[in-house]
Structure 1
Amino acid sequence: MKYHVIYDGNCNLCVNLVQLLESFDQGKSFVYTPMQNEEVLDSMEVSACDCEKGMILIDKENNQRWQGSDAAEEIARILPSGSWFVSVYQGLPFAKGTGDRLYAMIRDNRYQLFGKRLETYVSRYGMRD
Structure 2
Amino acid sequence: MARNPRSRNENKREKLIVLYDGNCNLCLGTVRKLKELQSTADLRFIPVQSLEETYETVPGLASFDQAMLLTKMHVVEADGTLHAGAAGVVRILRTVKGLRWLAWLYRVPGLRIAGDGLYRVIAAKRYDWFGRADDGCHEGACTLPKKE
TM-score normalised by length of structure 2: 0.71
Q: Which has the higher contact order (CA 8 A, sep 6+)?
A: 1
2:65 and 2:120 map into 1 onto residues whose CA distance is 19
2:94 and 2:39 map into 1 onto residues whose CA distance is 17
Matched, 1:83 2:100: yes
Compare the two structures and name the one with the higher helix fraction: 1
- The answer on whether the counterparts of 1:57 and 1:71 sit within 8 Å (CA) in structure 2 is yes
Match of 1:106 in 2: 122
2:110 and 2:39 map into 1 onto residues whose CA distance is 33
The amino acid of 1:12's aligned partner reads: N
The amino acid of 2:137's aligned partner reads: T
TM-score normalised by length of structure 1: 0.80
Q: What's the RMSD between the two structures over aligned residues? A: 2.6
For the pair shown, the structure with the greater C-alpha radius of gyration is: 2
Identity level (%) = 25
Would you say how many aligned residue pairs link Structure 1 and Structure 2? 122
| Residue aligned with 1:63, SS | coil
| Residue aligned with 1:122, SS | helix
Q: Of 94, 109, 112, which aligns to 1:96?
A: 112
Runs of 5+ consecutive residues of structure 2 not aligned to the other structure: 1-13, 142-148
Instruction: Return the offset for 1:23.
Output: 1.5
Q: Deviations over 1:29-81 (max 9, x none)?
A: 20110011131499433421331331110112x33111111101111111113
